[in-house]
Structure 1
Amino acid sequence: MTKASIKQTFRLDAELVRLVAERARQRRVTRTEIVEAALASLLSADHEERLEAALTKRIDKLARGLERLEWNLDLSNEAFALFVRFWLTSTAPLPDTALPAAQATGRKRWEGFVESLSRRMEAGPKLAEELSRDVGNSFSK
């Protein structure tokens, strides 16, 4: 017993027709079978469940990425705060006569810092990677 079929005429985008033909050729089936399978999948009762599962998977991946981003931001904030506290508590104020020389040295050091930061951001390694390595090495000793 064969399934009853009804001939229909539809207008489809040329690119979509090309994709259907390509998929049919790849799978060695007819274009009709490809279109029937796609429609059956779209109209099946579990289509929405599969779509929801795919979206949930994507959202979970985004959430993990955001958690890593949050951890890196916390690390950066803490490292910066620690540095500033250390610098403020260990650096003595300069006398007025030494200020111009200190400012010139500071400008040179700043330019070196910016250049070094640029290189690290382009090529790595990043601070988080170095800290992970350093912490791992300190536990293995």
Structure 2
Amino acid sequence: MAEVPFHYVDLRTFCYATEDDKRVEQAIRTFLPEEFEVERAESKGHHGDRIVVFSARLERADEMRHVLSKLADLPNIESVLDELGNRVDDNCSFFLRLDKQAAYRGDVALGDGITFRAKVEAYPAKKEAAVENARETLERLR
């Protein structure tokens, strides 16, 4: 996959008080190149409980290719292709929700826990062009 039609890819997940920080960080690292820096921010929840936010922004083509190579393992990529009109917004951002538990095990699956957001290159910057570029990229993963 030579061309990457994204300006950047953001990954983000939350670690709640009942979860182990190291395991949650390991889950997000499933999608990242080795030694990639993961941002960590701590916050308080509604009831004062600790929440840690892990996030990473990938901007270099090689980094984004790495994430896309992981998405190639999605067992239901066809459903993502069918839903692209709903997964790309008017700002040309493409969204997926990835399963945090599966990622901790090193697997890739749609689910809850990790947010994937990619800013799709589209000229003109219209949703229809972004959907088509995202479609072409995902079809190359199959």
Q: Shorter-chain-normalised TM-score: which range?
A: under 0.3
From the two aligned structures, give the one with the greater strand fraction.
2
TM-score normalised by structure 2 residue count: 0.19
Which structure is larger by alpha-carbon Rg, 1 or 2?
1
TM-score normalised by structure 1 residue count: 0.19
From the two aligned structures, give the one with the greater helix fraction.
1
